[in-house]
Structure 1
């Protein structure tokens, strides 16, 4: 793997979801949530401090009980938070019951991303919104080449994360209309850092 084994792999810890370079993304995306919010793949609760008072309730959905236990200990605002041990591929909520779905660096990992997006659309109210920031497939051929080759290894050491998912088309094929999307590399190795940030509404 040459330079990628010598440079990229030692820097994997720098791409941790705790990375402070991700805070601006969290602040913009999570800060735009309102009403009754479903956060899919809420993990250890890193987004909780970024919610604003426009949110009246947070439903934190996470299939890993160890991560949920960590999330329960995270200091956050006084917004009520209900922690749900469940998968985004089978969300245990009623149809049209959510104002905002938040997904941050989650669609890369969910085994059935298409099924998860179908579920997100089901639980969203007709005028609800999906807020997202994800990393995924780069438009640059050379970077895509590395993403395709690194993904099998990366997935084994990062909980099933895919570097090469085409996030925009996955969201659109899941029944959403993109309202806003911004893409580009954040600081770091390019195969891991091409970001998609934006919002979408149910078709």
Structure 2
């Protein structure tokens, strides 16, 4: 792992993903998580303040990035509900099948190398009747914005830790074996349109 990946990138991601428009998006979806929760891409724990602690029995915080683990463990130790940090990927999840009530993923599907495989792994851990909650940025509906996303992405990815600008989030969720039951979209205010188109909602495993 390079100096940039270990020391610079975590700070940059924390600042970008902790800005006000994204905090407001997190507040729309994270409080709905309940029971035993599996969070994909826990990072530095930016979702912790948005959980409803009265509804969460335990959180499994999945964070495979070595550069993020120290911050993840520090924040987990201070949380108002039990958190176990798992330094592994969803594709190779150690949790038993049908062991969690909610899977949550926010602003992480853009960087996971195989997002479909990651969600498939998480789906296997969901109990019958469990739900996937998601909030992500992705490919925009407007062709003019899409053109800019395609132009910027090759430069953006190495700077932003592998972040893709052109992923079709609803298509990824569906391809992983979920049925989307709720979906909302918008361009985030005070954000560049090429990075600001958001999808959020809830899905059930097929």
Instruction: Specify if TM > 0.5.
Output: yes
> Structure 2 stretches of 5 or more lacking a match?
1-11
In the TM superposition, what is the alpha-carbon distance from 1:131 to its structure 2 partner?
A: 0.3
Distance 1:189 1:117 in 2: 27
Hey, which bits of structure 1, 4+ residues long, moved more than 6 A? 12-15
2:16 counterpart residue number: 16
Output the aligned Cα RMSD.
1.7
Which aligned pairs between 1:54-203 and structure 2 lie closer than 5 A? Answer: 54-74=55-75, 77-187=79-189, 188-203=191-206
CA shift in 2, pair 1:14/1:143, >3 Å: farther
1:180 alignment partner, SS class? strand
TM, length-normalised to structure 2: 0.89
2:116 alignment partner, SS class? helix
Say whether the 8 Å CA contact 1:89–1:113 is kept in structure 2. no
2:6 counterpart residue number: none
In the TM superposition, what is the alpha-carbon distance from 1:65 to its structure 2 partner?
A: 2.8
TM, length-normalised to structure 1: 0.90
CA shift in 2, pair 1:18/1:118, >3 Å: same
> Structure 1 stretches of 5 or more lacking a match?
1-11
Distance 2:109 2:15 in 1: 16
Aligned length: 192
Distance 1:15 1:190 in 2: 18
